[in-house]
Chains A and B, each alone.
Chain A
Amino acid sequence: MKKYSGYLIALGLLMLAPTMIYPVFLMKLLCFALFASAFNLILGYGGLLSFGHAAFFGGASYITGHALKVWGLPTELGILFGAAVAGLMGLAIGMLAIRRHGIYFAMITLAMAQMAYFLFVSSPFTGGENGLQGVPRGTALGMIDLQNDMSMYYFVLAIFVIGFLIIARTVHSPFGQVLSAIRDNEDRARSLGYDIERYKLLAFVISATLAGLAGGTKTVVFQLASLTDVHWHMSGEVVLMTLLGGLGTIAGPAVGAGIIITLQNYLASGPLAAWVPVVLGVIFVICVLAFRRGVVGELRELIKRQF
């Protein structure tokens, strides 16, 4: 059990956190932590730099918003529906991009995500520049009123934990082993008889689905889906979170998301409000130059050297 004690402590802290910290801020943090963790599955464990994950995050956010507001689906079904649509988008984009490597893969995913962006801007159901507003939070499992921020928080926490467990399991599964092998040496994995494209595609679809899960949940929290979530800035931001926290570590991206979201929040209300992108840019440069493994990656290395 010692192996998991760190996670259990983290979970305990997250359970207690809303008594001290504004719950809506915490929920935002959890949504992005899940988004970054999902992204890490494809970059950190699959070795594929997707520059279009905003399409899945923001796409699911619109779909969930529409399903809840217009179709009146129960909250949890609306979120799952958004995630499923994101997964299908991941399948479509993945099938086109998965045979490409490195920068070409990044370019195709970016191009596809931009197409999705324009689709969402011009579709009437998204509300264009105004966004999709007034999404009802509804109830969880038909019993718990999510209008209350505290119950909403625990609902989001549950979704985060489930998503995080799916990612952790995927990494430590027979599939995860093959995925690591492919990341390490693609040609060798091929010569051992693996159809590597199919493995990469499955990883991409899981990643897109969970990014969608995060996006849909965020819509319910803020009762709003907007263009910000589907914009390519968001694709860049999730790369930053993942690298800052630690690429290819289980907890890293969540930590990175925590740092970025906290910074954005604090800076936005201070004298540096107009300088947020610059501050984040400087942090990114420092991260790349000085601690390339990211916060969690460097800590892990430090612990390894101590013993």
Chain B
Amino acid sequence: MTQTDDFILQTRGLTKEFKGFTAVSEVDLNVRRHTIHALIGPNGAGKTTVFNLLTKFLIPTRGSIAFNGRDITNAKPAEISRMGVVRSFQISAVFPHMTARENVRVALQRKLGTSFHFWRAAKSLNKLNDRADELLGMVGLERFSEAIVADLPYGRKRALEIATTLALEPEMMLLDEPTQGMGREDVELITQLIRKVSANRTILMVEHNLGVVSTLCDRITVLQRGALLTEGTYAEVSADPRVKEAYMGKAA
């Protein structure tokens, strides 16, 4: 297998079978460094399965995954997170009974190395508050740092999720349908946010909203029935008749 330094994440022959059903079949994915890369496809194309394979929440049946040229096929979710690949979830992944600041702090505190210290006061985490508030500011949540997260509206929760992810300073962010279930205003907010945080970072996102994909993404991979259909820029992909067919069915 040859690895080009230009690619941050590469898969070769990635396959996942569930009891005879092949959800993902022989996918070769190449994600270029410092791009926003989208994974699209009709319902049931296997986008979320590919996503869960990449983030190690599922184990591939066959094939390999390399991050920065290093094989991570058998790594654990927590391990790749520490390597700099951090994911988000389809439904908002926050800690609802904690405040917004505490949410971000949970991500920040791992680096202190005191996370197993049950004899130390939680006050020792206060030195992270400034950095946490700064991150909350980046996503427009500075006024909500003391709010219990369960009480925040949906769009704010997604923004908080991004702030929490940013706290880890990931080299690569994997976003699972970041605008799913949002009103137009929130979609706009999150789109701008993703653009803002994509500086010096690679982002791979699964997204249904083609409007978001067309404004944000540099490269697009289209999946159909678990296999790779095509890859290219939005203009290239949207001009491809096979893509139209996959979404609309065969034209009469």
Among B76, B109, B125, find the residue whose CB has the most chain A CB atoms closer than 10 A. Answer: B109
Say yes or no for A170: interface residue by CB 8 A criterion. Answer: yes
Cα–Cα distance between A174 and B105 once the two chains are bound (Å) = 10
Please indicate the chain B residues that have their CB under 8 angstroms from the CB of A175 in the complex: 115-118, 120
Contact with B along A186-198 (1 / 0, CB 8 A): 0111111111101
- Taking a contact as CB atoms closer than 8 A, the residue among A169, A176, A184, A194 that contacts B78 in the complex is A194
State which residues 98-127 of B face A: CB under 8 Å: 98, 102-103, 105-107, 109-110, 112, 114-122, 124-125
Q: A191-B78, A192-B81 are in contact. List 16 more A-B contacts (CB 8 A).
A: A172-B121, A173-B118, A174-B114, A174-B125, A176-B118, A178-B106, A180-B95, A180-B97, A181-B98, A184-B97, A185-B94, A185-B96, A188-B95, A189-B95, A192-B106, A194-B110
Say yes or no for A206: interface residue by CB 8 A criterion. Answer: yes
Interface pair B106/A193, CB less than 8 Å apart = no
Interface pair A192/B164, CB less than 8 Å apart = yes
Cα–Cα distance between A193 and B87 once the two chains are bound (Å) = 10
Say yes or no for A177: interface residue by CB 8 A criterion. Answer: yes
Interface pair B125/A177, CB less than 8 Å apart = yes
Interface pair A173/B119, CB less than 8 Å apart = yes
Say yes or no for B89: interface residue by CB 8 A criterion. Answer: yes
Cα–Cα distance between A181 and B101 once the two chains are bound (Å) = 13
Say yes or no for B210: interface residue by CB 8 A criterion. Answer: no
Say yes or no for B247: interface residue by CB 8 A criterion. Answer: no
Say yes or no for A202: interface residue by CB 8 A criterion. Answer: yes
Interface size class of A (residues with CB under 8 A): 20 to 34
State which residues 137-181 of A face B: CB under 8 Å: 169-170, 172-178, 180-181
Contact with A along B180-191 (1 / 0, CB 8 A): 000000000000
Can you list 21 A-B contacts (CB < 8 A)? A170-B119, A173-B121, A173-B122, A174-B114, A174-B115, A174-B125, A175-B115, A177-B98, A178-B115, A181-B106, A184-B96, A187-B93, A190-B78, A191-B55, A191-B87, A192-B86, A192-B106, A192-B168, A193-B78, A193-B110, A199-B116
Please indicate the chain A residues that have their CB under 8 angstroms from the CB of B78 in the complex: 190-191, 193-196
Say yes or no for B77: interface residue by CB 8 A criterion. Answer: yes
Interface pair A206/B106, CB less than 8 Å apart = no
Interface pair A184/B116, CB less than 8 Å apart = no
The chain B residue with its CB closest to the CB of A169 is B119
Please indicate the chain B residues that have their CB under 8 angstroms from the CB of A193 in the complex: 78, 81-82, 86, 110, 168
Cα–Cα distance between A181 and B105 once the two chains are bound (Å) = 10
- Taking a contact as CB atoms closer than 8 A, the residue among A173, A174, A183, A187 that contacts B112 in the complex is A174
Interface pair B89/A190, CB less than 8 Å apart = no
Interface pair A206/B118, CB less than 8 Å apart = yes
State which residues 10-28 of A face B: CB under 8 Å: none
Cα–Cα distance between A111 and B93 once the two chains are bound (Å) = 34
Decide yes or no: A174 and B81 within 8 Å by CB, A181-B98, A189-B106 being known contacts: no
Please indicate the chain A residues that have their CB under 8 angstroms from the CB of B82 in the complex: 193
Cα–Cα distance between A188 and B125 once the two chains are bound (Å) = 20
CB distance from B106 to the nearest CB of A (A): 5
- Taking a contact as CB atoms closer than 8 A, the residue among B93, B95, B96, B117 that contacts A173 in the complex is B117
Cα–Cα distance between A26 and B91 once the two chains are bound (Å) = 49
Across the A-B interface, the 8 shortest Cβ-Cβ residue pairs: A193-B81, A184-B95, A188-B93, A175-B118, A170-B118, A172-B122, A193-B82, A181-B106
The chain A residue with its CB closest to the CB of B103 is A181
Contact with A along B36-79 (1 / 0, CB 8 A): 00000000000000000001010000000000000000001110
The chain B residue with its CB closest to the CB of A192 is B107
The chain A residue with its CB closest to the CB of B150 is A184
CB distance from A54 to the nearest CB of B (A): 24
CB distance from A92 to the nearest CB of B (A): 20
Please indicate the chain A residues that have their CB under 8 angstroms from the CB of B76 in the complex: 195
State which residues 186-228 of A face B: CB under 8 Å: 187-196, 198-199, 202, 206
CB distance from B131 to the nearest CB of A (A): 15
Interface pair A187/B114, CB less than 8 Å apart = no
The chain A residue with its CB closest to the CB of B55 is A191
- Taking a contact as CB atoms closer than 8 A, the residue among B57, B121, B168 that contacts A187 in the complex is B57
Interface pair A190/B125, CB less than 8 Å apart = no
